[in-house]
Structure 1
Amino acid sequence: MSSSDIFIGETVGTAVLIVLGGGVVAAVTLKRSKALNAGWVAITLGWAFAVLTGAYISVGLSGAHLNPAVTLGLAIQGTTPWSDVPLYLGSELLGAMIGAVLVWLAYYGHFKDHLTDPEVLAQARTGQEGMVDEDSAPKAGPVLGIFSTGPEIRNSVQNLMTEIIGTFVLVLLILTLGLTEGLGLSGTGVLIVALTVGGIGLSLGGPTGYAINPARDLGPRIVHALLPLPNKGGSDWTYAWIPVVGPLIGGALAGGLYQLGFA
């Protein structure tokens, strides 16, 4: 595949992934949304459909990595040339940032109402003042969860392990799909990956919100920091390394295991 195919496929596919995935979190979170308080199952299903849609759109162009951890695992496996890795990573990050901006535009009025609501602001202040954990830096603002992930219990070792384990499962599934005849880049293969993302969210999403994708977390977190949102609070940069490093370790471990046990 050409460089332009990789760039277009990964940028557009990841943007769609984030606009639908971030969109379902916005729908469940923001005041005056029809889906307000729909809950965790709605979020995990929304992210599964987001993966399904983004992957179907991009699979014919770029192979639908949509995730630096997947790109790393495929490079270690040998499917993706190492020379293509920087282009994949840059395209995925750019697409994630575009998708986050589109979520903001789609919910523009809701963001404004939510972030000027006295009850929301009071809860945000209480949460900031009452939070006790191992870090002392400013924490997440009241809508950061729409853009990126955060832990329920802030423990770097546990949070890192959760992201490693979840990403390991995802990437190993993607790598081993190629061993099943007809499932590698097929429509059925894409569906299985999307269902696996939903399963990871239901099973392992509770501790950290299951980033399992460095671009999915870092790109929207940058957008959150840059957007002119009133009373948006911090972007929690103290935590931001975990949903980047953890998934990359998980992807690398999956690629290594594949080479040792499946190749």
Structure 2
Amino acid sequence: MNAPTTVTKPRVGLFATCLVDLFRPSVGFAAAKLIEQAGCEVHVPMAQTCCGQPAYNTGDKADTRAIAEQVIELFEGFDYVVAPSGSCAGMLKKHYPELFAGDVKWEERCRRFSNKVHELVSFLTDVMFISNVEAKLDGSVTYHDSCSGLRELGIQKQPRKLLSSVEGLELKEMAGSDVCCGFGGTFCVKYSDISNTIVEKKTTAITDTGADMLLAGDMGCLMNMAGKLKREGKTIAVRHVAEVLAGMTDNAPIAGSGKRG
């Protein structure tokens, strides 16, 4: 008699991201739930920190490399590395190889690591072939395509595909859904006036849809838009797409700062 076959689940390292960890842990829990529902085993290395993008964007290559080496060492043993953020996933997948290009010790090691990296929704649809989720939301949403996820990783149809399977949800597309929200990491700090003008146009497009809720896949963008909506006195709820897909919308929406113009 043959012994029963043991099915080994793919081991996924969840790169939680700084903003999720510090401002919206519920997104990390939603991501873990979705990955587990897709048939994977989720691991969250406790020693993880930043992906290094702020340092990279300001030209600090030395500190970026130090951070990148730590991330690679922590996550390279998993079958996949998944982040609920297009910008962080883009950093790990697209920009890490640039850091280690020509480095005899690290180049190939980094390439193997980066090939395992995926943004959350893209991982669910393109790798695990998930086409629907068991979630419900009675209301309308509009979706913002974050720059890094869209332009670096080609994420556009994937979230809409899964959102279409959420019971009761109505998607109302905004004009210029693929236009920048004005966050851009350190851009919104260096060029705050320009950033504010950009996000003002974005919140107008959001409001014009008449949707109850704004969704996106990047916390930086979401916090930026939530802040502007709050300062304008708008009542549109703001959430990470993972929270809706996981059916985890009991917690309060994303809060935005009321300090800038």
TM category, shorter: under 0.3
- Which structure's residues are more often helix, by fraction? 1
- Relative to the length of structure 2, the TM-score reads 0.27
Higher share of residues assigned strand: 2
Q: Which has the higher contact order (CA 8 A, sep 6+)?
A: 1
